[in-house]
Amino acid sequence: MFLLKKRFFFIVFLCLFNFLKAHNSDDIDNVLIESKQEFNQLNFFKSIELGKEALQASKDINYSKGIATSSIYLAKAFIELGNYNKGLSLLSEAEKEPFFSKYINFQVESYRLKGRIYGYLEMYDLAVAQFYKQLHLSEKIEPLEVKRLSTLWAYQNLTHIYNKKNNNDSINKYLSLQEKSLVFFNGSHDYYNKIGTYNQIAEQRIKEGDFESAERYVTQSLELLASNKSTYFYPSLEILGKLEEAKGNIDTAGNHYKKALDNALEINDKDAISHCYKVLSDFYKEHQPNMLEGKVYYEKHKKIEDSLKLINSNILDKVYREIIKEERANNIARDNYKYYFLGSILTSAMVIGVLYKRKKRFRNLLSKKKMEADLNEQKVAKLKEALESKKYEDLIHMSKNNNPEFLNAFKELFPSEIESLKENNPNTTTSEMCFCALSYLNYSTKEIAEIQNVTIRAVQVRKNRIRKKFNIPSEIDFNIWMIENLGNI
CA angle 172, 174, 180 (to 5 degrees): 105
- Please give the average pLDDT of every successive group of 10 residues along the chain, which has 489 residues: 46 47 77 89 86 92 94 92 88 93 93 92 91 93 91 95 92 94 86 92 94 95 91 93 93 94 87 90 86 84 80 71 64 51 49 54 58 58 58 84 88 83 84 89 90 90 89 84 73
Could you tell me which residues come within 8 angstroms of residue 461 by beta carbon, excluding any fewer than 6 positions away? none
pLDDT at 13: 47
How far is 407 from 399, CA to CA, in rounded Å?
Answer: 9
How far is 295 from 299, CA to CA, in rounded Å?
Answer: 6
pLDDT at 304: 82
How many helices, marked H, and strands, marked E, lie in the chain?
24, 0
pLDDT at 477: 84
How far is 264 from 274, CA to CA, in rounded Å?
Answer: 9
How far is 426 from 470, CA to CA, in rounded Å?
Answer: 11
pLDDT at 368: 58
Q: Distance of alpha carbon 207 from its chain centroid, rounded?
A: 24
Termini Cα distance of the chain: 81
